[in-house]
Amino acid sequence: MAQSLTSECTPLKLEYDSCFNSWFEGYLEPAVSASASSEQRAKYSKEKAEEYESKCGKIWASYRACVQKAVKEKGLNDLLDQAREENPLKEPPSNQSSSVPPS
């Protein structure tokens, strides 16, 4: 796994990434097949979101605090805020019209 913005955050990042990855690997395939009903899906998603929180929530909080500080130190704060303001991207882009231009 790649390094973090600052070497100080790299150990936290690596720990967080492996926590997320092992959760994600268990999450994805059942999530794909759990599409029987939206009720079933919601139940599964809720359980898994809680499991992620309990497994990775703590390390995420430490890593995020570290990386937020690093983002500031690298002078990326304003650029990131500006990009977020211009395009928050809170919803998947498939909800918007396709941006593929006519060929």
Partner 1 sequence: MHYFSQSCTYDHSWARVVIGMWHKYPNPHCSHVVTVDVVDRTINPETGIIRTERILGCKQRAPIWIVKLFGGSEDAFVREISFVDPSTQTTTISSINLSLSQFATCNENIKYAPAPGGRTIFTQTAEIQTRMTMWRSAADKLEGWLAQRFEQNAQLGKVGFTDVLKKLWDEANERKEGVPASS
Report in angstroms how near the CB of residue 31 gets to partner 1 at its nearest.
4
Q: Which residues bind partner 1 (CB under 8 A)?
A: 1-5, 9, 13, 16-17, 20-21, 24-25, 27-29, 31-32, 34-35, 41-42, 44-46, 48-50, 52, 60, 63-64, 67-68, 70-71, 74, 76, 79-80, 82-84, 87, 89-94, 99-101
Contact between residue 4 and residue 10 where contact means Cβ atoms under 8 Å apart: yes
Report in angstroms how near the CB of residue 22 gets to partner 1 at its nearest.
11
Candidates 68, 78, 70, 63; CA nearest to 5 is 70
Contacts by residues 38-42 (CB-CB < 8 Å, ≥ 24 positions apart)? none
Other CB atoms within a 10 A radius of the CB of residue 51 amount to 13
Residue with smaller CB distance to partner 1, 46 or 58: 46
